[in-house]
Structure 1
Amino acid sequence: MSIDVHVRIRPNVPNGVWSSAETVLYSTQSPNTRYVYNKVHHIGTSNQTIFQGIEALVHAGFDGKNVTVMAYGQTGSGKTYSMNGSKVDPGIVPRTAKLLLDLRMNYPGTQIVIYFTEIYNESVKDLLEPQRGELGLHDAPDGGVYFDKKSLPIESIEDFVKLQNVAERNRKYGVTNLNDHSSRSHMILTFEIHRAYRQVSTINLVDLAGSESASRANTDGLSLREGGFINKSLLTLGNVVDAIVEKKPYVPYRDAKLTRILRSCSWWVWYVRLFVAAINPSHSKLDVPKPFYERLTVRTFTT
């Protein structure tokens, strides 16, 4: 299994939680360790440049390959910004939607269908119809799972934006010491590409909730519980990848809803995969568990 890993270093944001923090260039608190990635994007890199590096993946998805892109990192490191972006500099999600719709124009009869899935405290919900409550995961014959979700076709970028806004309004956010707008759930946006005389292909864009230290985030009550579920599912994701890369006889897919759903999408046998690892360089934020970096090295994720 081969996974490309891109690291993006976010800038300090004016008026943000980390706006007055000191930027770290190196640390003398621990022995030097070298990590290898496919690409490291510096602080000034735009979302447009980020997308240019993965545009070929969208073309591969449109041409019948299954693709996934995950944004992974600590809370407050800029994952959601990399995925959604802004009006001035749209992120991976809107740029992917626009490119797919543009490609569709050249192939009459092609249909683009999307759905949004949220995993919050190990509860799976449809972000387009959250009133339905928790969705049950049912075992499929191939070892994956299936669940009932609302899939809708999009004909224009306006259609997409309307549905994305609905999903974002329904997603769980909160406030912690590390982030004043912290995603408290994992969100999976799935594009299904239906082309004539071709098998349906999918592109999954996954905005993972941020890993966090409870002491640093100063969380308690509900926020502490949310953080526990987030960290557990991210740990399981790492354990699953480790087990597959090391060819272990048992892979712990069932230990978290996130990995069960990704398995149902055949993520582990997909043709192309990319992790966008976001890092906050602020001194006050330098509390990243060692396994975070180790599991996002090219060496670890390549076999």
Structure 2
Amino acid sequence: MSSVIIQVYGAIQRLKQDLKNLHSFALELSRDFQHQCKNSLYQVLTAVQRIQLQNEAMHTFQTKAFDLEQSLQEVNERYQQEKQKRKILHNSLVELRGNIRVHCRIRPLLPFDTASGHSVSQDRHRKLSEEVAHATDDETVLVKCNRPGHTLINKTFQFDRVYSAAESQDTVFADVLPLLTSLLDGYNVCIMAYGQTGSGKTYTMLGPQSEDDVTLSIEDEPELGIIPRATEEVFRIISEKPPGSHWVEVSVVEVYNNEIFDLLAKDSCGRVFGVKRDVVTTKEGKSDVPLLTYETVENAVEFLQLVDKGLQLRAQHPTLVHAHSSRSHLVVTLTITTKAVSADSFAPLWTDEQSSPRLSKELFCTFPQQMKDDKLIFPSRASSPAQFESTEKLKHIKTKLQLVDLAGSECVGMSGVTGVALRETSFINRSLSALSDVLGAIAEQRSHIPYRNSKLTHLLQDSIGDYFFCLLCNNIELHFF
């Protein structure tokens, strides 16, 4: 019996010890749990505080972003207003210089020029040039008419600008450059070279060309003519505009014997050949050539490749004056389509009394920050000098840059042409006479301008009516030997 009691007592003692150990473990576990709870609570509080700080910072950033957005909107509005002012001032300046401008470029005597049928040295060329014709200043040409059996007569001719024989292609193009800005502002522009055969019109417009190669290249930088330079500048200006807001199409035609030929038309095999076209006047009073071939180009290189194709087909015929005389007028047209807001979509409130009177012809080519699905989203506010109502109406506006290398005027007695070439000369001189009549009518502001007297003037009607730049190429000294 006592042994049983001893066993029970031992078991009880072990249970007490186990209970004591369990109690100690529970206390330790409780302390650990409390400590972990405190740590977790501290971490939660820290996280909450961090989130609160981040929310405050986020709110601050949102406020700053809103303020910046408002500032950007105001800057954009001011930019649009200043851009309109720039357009008005630029085109007012261009108009003050004259919508129709005639510059004269004196061609130097070249090695193949002759005096009385005999070749002369370079020094003699230079001396003869100085004796016969030279630029007395930037606007005046002096011509010394000294022929055997005639009294010496000095004649002076005034132009908007005169280039001496030593002035470069760069100098000539510098005066053309402002017109290209006007082109992107919504004005049609016509630039042409006029003069007798062999006076350097093609060199001025296109650049140097060898006998067997008419290929144009951007790499011939110093000698590039107006056509490649103007095209390169147009694409440079377009590259600064919003992507997709402008695109360029090119047509190349020649006016030969008062007929228009499309030099980019292709036959069923894809070969380029000249196809006769006609010029008509649309219901809106603009000139148009139905079925004319237009090629879209992305850069100046593609453009020059198209012009090269046209030059291969251009009519030429040798004369006593010029071995490679062009027998047709070459007209290269860049049609620039602008995705713009039409003037009808605005309610302009001009406060500046000095605003250009031609503003009605101005294109409001504004491209605000946001564009979606071909619809413009305008800023909500605008300030003086102009205010515009918000609109989403888009309009495609077309402007033309027409670059013209005219056929040379000829004296039949000097050129010695006969037969077909004589007929060509007759058409050339008649078309140039018609061009002279049109320019005279515009200059005198007559009520009727005879555009339709010639296919050439009819074709150029839209551009001559806006900005017209004529470069008179002159080798006048050859007439007086």
Deviations 1:196-251 (A, max 9, x none): 21422111111111100001001111111110000000011111222333344543
Matched, 1:41 2:236: no
Give structure 1 stretches of 5+ with no counterpart.
Answer: 288-303
Q: Kindly indicate whether the alpha-carbon contact (under 8 Å) linking 1:113 and 1:154 is maintained by their aligned counterparts in 2.
A: yes
CA deviation vs aligned residue, 1:236-277 (integer Å, no higher than 9, x gap)? 1111222333344543322211111122xx23430x221100
Instruction: Tell which deviates more after alignment, 217-226 or 97-106.
Output: 97-106
CA RMSD of aligned residues (A): 2.2
Amino acid at match of 1:192: T
CA, structure 1 residues 36+240, in 2 after alignment: closer, same or farther (shift >3 Å)? Answer: same
> Match for residue 120 of structure 1?
256
Give the structure 2 partner of residue 135 of structure 1.
277
The question of whether the paired residues in 2 share the 8 Å contact of 1:126 and 1:149 is answered with yes
TM-score normalised by structure 2 residue count:
0.55
Q: How does 1:205-284 map to 2 (within 5 A)?
A: 205-263=403-461, 266-270=462-466, 272-283=467-478
Tell me: CA distance 1:248–1:205, structure 2 relative to 1, closer, same or farther (3 Å). same
The verdict on how the C-alpha distance between 1:182 and 1:123 changes in structure 2, with shifts beyond 3 A counting, is same
- Give 2:443's aligned amino acid: V
Q: Which moved more, 1:243-252 or 1:133-142?
A: 243-252
With over 3 angstroms needed to count, the CA separation of the structure-2 counterparts of 1:99 and 1:150, relative to structure 1, is same
Q: Does 1:175 align with 2:318?
A: yes
Alignment check: 8 A CA contact 1:3 1:273 kept: yes
Shift in Å at residue 34 of structure 1? 3.4
Label 1:139 to 1:273 Cα distance change in 2 as closer, same or farther (>3 A).
closer
CA contact (8 A) 1:192 1:203 kept: yes
Displacement of 1:132: 5.6
Letter in 2 for 1:99: E
C-alpha distance 243-223 of structure 1, shift in aligned 2 (>3 A): same
Q: Distance in 1 between matches of 2:232 and 2:449?
A: 36
- Residue ranges of structure 2 left out of the alignment (5+ in a row): 1-97, 134-143, 209-219, 266-271, 341-364, 366-396
Letter in 2 for 1:94: P
Query: Where does 1:132-171 land on structure 2 (aligned, <5 Å)?
Result: 133-147=275-289, 148-171=291-314
Deviation sequence 1:1-40 (CA, Å, 0-9, x none): 7411110011122346786464323114575443221111
Aligned to 2:338: 195
How far, CA to CA, are the matches of 1:150 and 1:215 in structure 2? 38
What secondary structure sits across from 1:179 in the alignment?
Answer: coil
Secondary structure of residue in 2 paired with 1:131: coil
Cα distance in structure 2, aligned partners of 1:44 and 1:228: 33
Deviation, 1:143, is 4.0
Indicate the larger mover: 242-251 or 253-262: 242-251
Distance 1:168 1:139, change over 3 A: same
Match of 2:65 in 1: none
**TM-aligned CA deviation for residue 71 of structure 1:** 0.6
**CA deviation map 1:41-65 (0-9, x unaligned):** 0001111111012111112112222
Relative to 1, partners in 2 of residues 1:132 and 1:90: Cα closer, same or farther, differing over 3 Å?
closer
Supply the AA of the counterpart residue of 1:278. C
- C-alpha deviations, 1:98-125, integer Å up to 9, x for none? 1111122122112121111210001111
2:278 equivalent to 1:83: no
Assess if the C-alpha contact under 8 Å between 2:337 and 2:398 holds in 1: yes
- Whether the 8 Å CA contact 1:72–1:278 is kept in 2: the answer is yes
Name the amino acid aligned to 1:27.
C
- Give the number of the structure with larger relative contact order, counting CA–CA contacts within 8 Å between residues 6 or more apart: 1
Amino acid at match of 1:246: E
Is the aligned partner of 1:204 residue 2:204? no
Structure 1 contact 144–261 (Cα < 8 Å) conserved: no
- 8 A contact 2:259–2:277 mirrored in 1: yes
Distance 1:132 1:231, change over 3 A: closer
- Which residue identity does 1:114 align to in structure 2? V
1:96 aligns to 2:96 (yes or no): no
Deviations 1:141-172 (A, max 9, x none): 24444212111111122211210110110111
Residue pair 1:10, 1:278 contacting (<8 A) in 2 also: yes
Q: Does 1:60 align with 2:182?
A: yes
- Name the aligned partner's letter for residue 312 of structure 2: R
Q: Letter of the aligned partner of 2:233 in structure 1? A: L
Distance in 2 between residues matched to 1:249 and 1:219, nearest whole Å: 38
* Identical positions, percent: 32
- Given that 1:127 and 1:167 are in contact with CA atoms closer than 8 Å, whether structure 2 keeps it comes out as yes
- Confirm or deny that 1:3 pairs with 2:100: yes
**Structure 2 CA distance, aligned partners of 1:17 and 1:155?**
44
Match of 2:156, SS state, is coil
Q: 1:202 corresponds to which letter in structure 2?
A: K
Give the stretch that moved more between structures: 18-27 or 79-88: 18-27
Change beyond 3 A, Cα 1:64–1:17:
farther
